Amino acid sequence: MVDITAQMVKQLRERSGAGIMDCKEALIECEGDMEKAADFLRKKGLATARKRAGRATSEGVVQSYIHMGGKIGVLVEVDCETDFVAKTDEFAGFAKNLAMQIAATSPMGVMPEDVPAEVVDREKEIYRQQALEMGKPEKMIDKIIDGKMSKFYKESCLMNQQYVKDASMTIADLLNDTIAKTGEKITIRRFSRFQVGQD
């Protein structure tokens, strides 16, 4: 059996942000393998997030972010279960990072279902025309459209986007990690992005 040192626990804790006991358990479970232990904690975070899915989120913050000397501004509402968590550095940091993400990537909505139906229909029609012009067989066109729509949602929906500070994660991963760290259900309720000279 691998000897789990305090230094190993500290290293995993700094990397994952998880609690000491969770880090120790992960390292024991993964026989001291730091990579596997980090993955173990992320999976555990997902399990925590699923358990909390039905809980009510009636506390939280409205976070603002102003970029480029006042040319871009974002307001995002992030909700949680208790006022205690809403005041933690972990939660505040998550809300701030979300606001910066929205400023940088200009998503159309939080989830795919938030994208207006007319935008979705227009995108699908463009992809259909492109496939036809490329001479693709009719029976393949729907598959091609599905693939292109998946890519479209990765770019246009906040939850599906790659996290700008860490390309190995999506915003959904970041949310689940924050749920695991705070121990509460967290909801990205809504956002508004303002850019000078744009409607």
- Return the CATH number at 146: 1.10.286
Task: Give tens-digit pLDDT for 103-131.
Answer: 999 999 999 999 889 999 999 999 999 99
Q: Residue-wise over 41-58: b if at least 16 C-beta within 10 A, else e?
A: bbebbbebbeebeeeebe
Other C-beta atoms closer than 10 Å to the C-beta of 140 total: 10
Taking residues 155-177, report their average pLDDT: 92
Q: Where are the beta strands (DSSP E) in the chain?
A: 59-67, 72-80, 162-163, 166-170, 187-195
- Higher-confidence residue of 59 and 2: namely 59
pLDDT averaged over every residue in the chain: 88
Other C-beta atoms closer than 10 Å to the C-beta of 141 total: 16
- 100 and 180 share one domain: yes
In a domain, 1, yes or no: no
- 39 and 122 share one domain: no
- 13 and 40 share one domain: yes
Beta-ladder partners of 166: 163
- 151 and 162 share one domain: no
pLDDT exceeds 80 at position 181: yes
- Return the CATH number at 22: 1.10.8.10
- 169 and 103 share one domain: yes
Task: Give tens-digit pLDDT for 82-92.
Answer: 999 999 999 99
- 91 and 171 share one domain: yes
- The phi, psi pair for 185, rounded to 5°, reads -70, 135
- 98 and 23 share one domain: no
Query: Residue 90's closest CA among 163, 183, 189, 28?
Result: 183
Task: Give tens-digit pLDDT for 31-67.
Answer: 999 889 888 887 776 556 566 666 667 799 999 999 8
Which pLDDT value is given to residue 21?
Answer: 77
Domain count of the fold of the chain: 3
- Expressed as residue numbers, the domain containing 130 is 116-155
The model's confidence at residue 20, banded by pLDDT at 50, 70 and 90, is: confident
- 122 and 133 share one domain: yes
Give 64's Cβ-side CA count (13 Å radius).
5
In a domain, 13, yes or no: yes
**Gap between the Cα atoms of 126 and 120, Å rounded:** 10
- 141 and 164 share one domain: no
- 161 and 150 share one domain: no
